[in-house]
Amino acid sequence: MALSTLSRRGLGSTLFKPLSAAVSSRSISSDAPLTIETSVPFTAHNCEAPSRAVTTSSSELLSFFRQMALMRRMEIAADSLYKAKLIRGFCHLYDGQEAVAIGMEAGITRKDCIITAYRDHCTFLGRGGSLLEIFAELMGRKEGCSKGKGGSMHFYRKEGGFYGGHGIVGAQVPLGCGLAFAQKYSKDETVTFALYGDGAANQGQLFEALNIAALWDLPAILVCENNHYGMGTAEWRAAKSPAYYKRGDYVPGLKVDGMDVLAVKQACKFAKEHALKNGPLILEMDTYRYHGHSMSDPGSTYRTRDEISGVRQERDPIERVRKLLLSHDIAAEKELKDIEKEVRKEVDEAIAKAKESPVPDPSELFSNVYVKGLGVEAFGVDRKVLRATLP
């Protein structure tokens, strides 16, 4: 991240945990605004690009650091739990892409909706979910956000405007446009961000949804989290035109450095204002995942280890914020290391509590299939009836 012009130097009064209490020990007298330039320019399609000068504050930068450090630690812990066979089934990790989740939250409100694919742990946390809900769900326990029945791919938090992780590639995009239709119908001045990966960018349903969203000027923002590999296939092998922000043709688009949390914040704020006035917009977040596509993918057969380490050294979103905090004398190195220690402890405590949570009763397999009072609750096959119906 380009280390910026500083409009006024001031230090924030507190350091906010991602969702709760303050922890900074630094004595801070004021929290004057800072103006920081994004690392690279935005690239626009059929619209004017937003300014590269982003207004922030020392407390916001500190909160960005802590939130991204928490997400990183959470995903690394999930990797260990999976290898210990405490997490089963599918599991897709988000480490490397934290700036997208955090920057998006900074540019919008919880009244705006987010819907995404199956790489959803960090988005859920950003929408106000707890570590306990996350780890309990990953381990199939009752205290999970989906009561232990959804697992890694199916997090959900309606009260936080998060309409889930979805396992069918690209399926969340038309659902997101449906949410945007409801928002326009209700005239509540909110928008929906529908996230998908570069691997889903060639799905037909995405273009069908975008077409109707454009016809009806829906407040929908389609966000392509381009981490450059759809499963194990590089984008250049899967897409004739990998400029995903231009894919809408008649719909404006914006390419964003998805490893720069301030650029993501600026882009999402811009996108919301645009969508409320003019209809849909496409954001392409240029980002990178450090893990493989899922836990069954080592992530090193279709790319080199040097490539991964190079991104870590040059573009890591957490290290960029660390450099800003140090260069603007907002925090000392020791304070940032202390934050990382606190985050590790917080994650460990949440895992311990999640392990104590019981697994759902087997009868729960058949609950929540229908809305209460509509449909039939089934508890297994009645074999006598089945035999009587067979020829």
What is the tens place of the pLDDT at every residue in 252-295? 999 999 999 999 999 999 999 999 999 999 999 999 999 999 99
Residue 21 has pLDDT above 60, yes or no: no
Residues 6+ apart with CB under 8 A from 21: none
Residue 388: predicted pLDDT: 62
Note the pLDDT tens digit of each residue in 193-219.
Answer: 999 999 999 999 999 999 999 999 999
- What is the C-alpha separation between 145 and 165, in angstroms, rounded? 12
Extended strands (E) in 277-390: 281-286
Residue 372: predicted pLDDT: 77
Half-sphere exposure of 47 (CA within 13 A, CB side): 29
Contact 362/369 with Cβ under 8 angstroms? no
Note the pLDDT tens digit of each residue in 42-77.
Answer: 999 999 999 999 999 999 999 999 999 999 999 999
Residue with tokens 């975008």: 210
Residue 20: predicted pLDDT: 37
The CB density around residue 78, as the number of other CB atoms within 10 Å, is 27
> What number does CATH give the domain 33-360?
3.40.50.970
Dihedral, 307, 308, 312, 317 alpha carbons, nearest 10: 110
Residue spans in the chain of domains classed CATH 3.40.50.970: 33-360
- What is the C-alpha separation between 140 and 142, in angstroms, rounded? 7
Residue 331 has pLDDT above 80, yes or no: yes
Contact 67/123 with Cβ under 8 angstroms? no
- What is the C-alpha separation between 202 and 346, in angstroms, rounded? 39
Provide the phi-psi class of 338: left if phi over 0, else alpha when psi is between -120 and 50, else beta. alpha
Provide the phi-psi class of 56: left if phi over 0, else alpha when psi is between -120 and 50, else beta. beta
User: Distance of CA 336 to CAs 75, 287, 311, 322, 343, Å?
Assistant: 19, 24, 21, 8, 11
Contact 209/249 with Cβ under 8 angstroms? no
Q: What pTM was estimated for this model as a whole? A: 0.88
